[in-house]
Amino acid sequence: MRRLIIVYNLILTLVITLAAVFNAKGGYQLLYGLLFLPIAFYFIRVIGRSFSRRRVGKTKSIRPRLPSATLYPAAPVLEGEALDDAEVKDLNRRMFLKLIGSAGLATFVFALFSKSAHAAFFGSVPGPGTVALKDTAGNKIDPAEKHPTDGYEISQVDDSTIPAYYGFLNKNGAWYIAREGNSGEYRYARGATDFSSYWGNHTGLSYSYFNLVFGS
């Protein structure tokens, strides 16, 4: 049972180490993955000692020929203290809890580094506990920033002819209409109320670019 638990902890530690090393994208990440190697070496050493003890126990020792018992008095036999089944189970239980505790600690450290500490050490956050998103140009992106068309749902479609028209409406009654041209260009018109009336005359509205319509 004890050997099985040690092998389990060895496999778990090796998996964590290999995952961190192969996913490393820099020197600091590689160093972080190598932190678990001493734990793996410890379990390998424990398993090696266990197998070496079994090998020594199976070998037969050659005993030298001793003089006759009549020349030397027999040495007294030392009797050791025998452990009952309850004490043996208690020792196994303590060993099991220690090994499980070490595996749980390794998993906790791995999870800690892979989330908040990983981001803090490798420069992807401006401060502890906050992950910053960046675009391809390196500019920070606010994920909570509201888009001008958030909250609008499609309400009317007129795609029977070219250009096609798409009407959007939000819960407060505000609306905008997108016009799709022949070559895929889009122009927009918007309003705050009375969507049904404006949609009735959607082909005659004044349309412009997105930034000009929603930028004001």
Domain ranges of the chain: 1-55+99-141, 153-214
Distance between CA atoms of 44 and 48, rounded to whole angstroms? Answer: 6
Model pTM score: 0.37
List the 175-180 sheet strands across, edge first: 153-158, 164-169, 175-180, 186-191
Residues 6+ apart with CB under 8 A from 206: 189
**Stretch 24-49: mean pLDDT:** 74
| Greatest mean pLDDT range, 57-61, 90-94, 129-133, 159-163 | 159-163
Whether the pLDDT of residue 18 is over 60: the answer is yes
Q: Where are the beta strands (DSSP E) in the chain?
A: 133-134, 140-141, 153-158, 164-169, 175-180, 186-191
Greater confidence, 208 or 14?
208
- Strand partners for 190: 176
**Stretch 162-190: mean pLDDT:** 93
pLDDT digits (tens, 9 = 90+) for 70-116: 555 555 655 555 555 666 566 666 766 666 666 666 666 566 555 54
Whether the pLDDT of residue 22 is over 50: the answer is yes
